[in-house]
Structure 1
């Protein structure tokens, strides 16, 4: 079996007790190998040097609905977006520059500011790093960037309700709330933490239920690493850059399973990259203009991919912008105007696309608030 860079880390983390074996499906294109790390888990490995082709993927193949949201132009509704949490009725905006979290409806109306910046009860003095909007319970969970041993909970009117105390100060935490209202937290544990944990679960009342201690490979000395979790698939899918593997945390088993990684082989310099996962694909964003690799889980193929927004003018869209089960693409007005004009200049812009683009172009207020394209991800198999 070909030696997979970093696989020894994976085997330690997963406590593999048997010899791992590889197999390649005959229906694949040869870019992938598969490692059985447990009786009920397989790690997919994509071999970078085997990925050669570029394909187009229509947005309609991935999302079941598409919306254009124009945010209201009141002074309080303008924002500097640093993250999104889209649900069936709400759009949560995590802002940059340590500005408060905002909650909008799908018609672009500002519903409320959630909490406030400060050091008092229900206030946060550090930037928000992750969030959950639970429409069923009308609750919003906010996790600060670092240094706070708690998750803050608000209602969908923006009022502070309670806090969930954690055993240790959180570092770049990612959070999910399941149908039982259990709150799962994954963060970066530090070597000098008194009570180190990689994952922890609290019940709906905030009471501690369980934790998963980190192996040495997950321990950090500083904040130079990042943790990414986009919440697009069942199970807690996350990527910690110090362990170049996409993992799933299984709450019921209280175990972590390696699900995907890139094998960069003998390249002189490993490209900077980030992993994401949606129902039908693993996505690898190769930073600094190198593109996005899309690994089709069912077909077992890997290609560089361009996403085409066939809902709107067949404009190219960002292939990696999927979070909380939604596609998103945010524009400042002038930015969207420039992109539409560029698309109108393309020789392959059809008459139908041209009409749609020109109608949109005429309606954009250059001084207005941001415009959001968004679409809800299809579930696997649809």
Structure 2
């Protein structure tokens, strides 16, 4: 089997938590000085933005403040049962939900960092899960939805951790993303359509009754789990994309239009007759971002990839280029990889790693302002290596 690697990361005692707000005094960057690299085309009733890879010339340093409104920090409760490790995070108005990681179950916190409870359990029994591919926290109705790999149902819990009736799915989902409409009790699913699965997407009610489906057709893929499905849920629509890393074919970010039961293309990358490259992209409220890289064979059975080149396209101006992201809220710390989902930027980091990062920045960045230096120094001095993870988050600009 070919290995594919991709570079993109009760006792009684006192605990404390706090919430810090960081603001940037620097001029907020933009892409105005870059060239137009994309064009708009109307396909049906949908407007498609197509980025010409050959026009991505310049590389620009982008501040995080271009994409997010502000940056908050949460010190998570450090009781043993609250420890999370590094995993993906859902942030809502009042809650923070950490995905299960290495047999660690889902953990729910409030926005002050207080641990509330675990959600479900790691295992193979009723209302348990092993590896999870997608999740959803609906604060309005007080429900958490969890879709494990290779599952024929979506698990459901309330915010008190009580298991609710699972949602039976019309088809078993090897890998998939879903979008919940709690107002009418429906769920829409976009999946990796292996041979034998007749649909790439469908909508159904919570009882499993289908209301519409989209045939897999040309989107069908070989049963290869190196392929991925993506949906970042950063806009009002259900964005979904299918990435076949080693199969050369056109692809797009779609919005699943449940009203008309179709996939509306929104963004694609045009290689303009140049050699095909492995690529990935996602949607933000005001931009499309992505990266391109090439495969390197290490031997007959093993492959790796070069470090990816990241690009960004402004939805309105169609200007863009390659970019490097830095955290201007925290003394211009470089960001090698950024997580955007459910309308937020999130960064979860272990205390030892944060100490190393801050120490390096204070030692090597000679251009730090006095204000930024004091900010980072104060934070560094407040960190305990025995703390739980530190979570930084910011709401995406719209």
Please give the TM-score of this superposition, normalised by the length of structure 2. Answer: 0.81
| Residue in 1 that maps onto 2:330 | 312
| Residue in 2 that maps onto 1:141 | 145
| Residue in 2 that maps onto 1:378 | 397
Distance 1:197 1:293, change over 3 A: same
Corresponding residue to 1:113 among 109, 118, 133: 118
Gaps of 5+ in 1: 1-26
Q: Larger relative CO (CA 8 A, sep 6+): 1 or 2?
A: 2
Residues in 2 aligned to 1:163 and 1:301: alpha-carbon distance in whole angstroms: 45
Distance 1:234 1:95, change over 3 A: same
- After superposition, the C-alpha distances for 1:188-211 in whole angstroms (9 at most, x for unaligned) are 122123xx2211222356543222
The Cα shift of 1:316 comes to 2.6
| Residue in 2 that maps onto 1:192 | 196
Distance 1:310 1:151, change over 3 A: same
| Residue in 2 that maps onto 1:230 | 232
Is 1:45–1:263's contact at 8 Å kept on the other side of the alignment?
yes
Secondary structure at the residue paired with 1:338?
helix
Deviates more, 1:111-120 or 1:307-316: 307-316
| Residue in 2 that maps onto 1:256 | 263
Deviates more, 1:227-236 or 1:59-68: 59-68
Residues in 2 aligned to 1:286 and 1:354: alpha-carbon distance in whole angstroms: 35
Corresponding residue to 1:359 among 353, 378, 392: 378
Gaps of 5+ in 2: 1-32, 245-249, 294-305
Deviates more, 1:365-374 or 1:207-216: 207-216
Q: Pairwise mapping of residues 217-366 of structure 1 onto structure 2 (< 5 A)?
A: 217-242=219-244, 244-268=251-275, 270=277, 272-286=278-292, 288-318=306-336, 320-344=338-362, 345-366=364-385
Distance 1:235 1:218, change over 3 A: farther
Is 1:237–1:247's contact at 8 Å kept on the other side of the alignment?
yes
Distance 1:129 1:364, change over 3 A: same
Q: Pairwise mapping of residues 119-158 of structure 1 onto structure 2 (< 5 A)?
A: 119-124=124-129, 126-146=130-150, 148-158=151-161
- After superposition, the C-alpha distances for 1:280-318 in whole angstroms (9 at most, x for unaligned) are 100003354333211011111111223332322232335
Is 2:200–2:219's contact at 8 Å kept on the other side of the alignment?
no
Root mean square deviation, CA, Å: 2.1
Residues in 2 aligned to 1:286 and 1:253: alpha-carbon distance in whole angstroms: 33
Residues in 2 aligned to 1:61 and 1:302: alpha-carbon distance in whole angstroms: 13
Is 2:186–2:206's contact at 8 Å kept on the other side of the alignment?
yes
Is 2:309–2:322's contact at 8 Å kept on the other side of the alignment?
yes
Residues in 2 aligned to 1:182 and 1:64: alpha-carbon distance in whole angstroms: 32
Is 1:80–1:95's contact at 8 Å kept on the other side of the alignment?
no
| Residue in 2 that maps onto 1:79 | 84
Residues in 2 aligned to 1:29 and 1:268: alpha-carbon distance in whole angstroms: 22
Is 1:292–1:304's contact at 8 Å kept on the other side of the alignment?
yes
Residues in 1 aligned to 2:219 and 2:149: alpha-carbon distance in whole angstroms: 22
Secondary structure at the residue paired with 1:300?
coil
| Residue in 2 that maps onto 1:45 | 50
Residues in 2 aligned to 1:318 and 1:28: alpha-carbon distance in whole angstroms: 22
Distance 1:103 1:298, change over 3 A: same
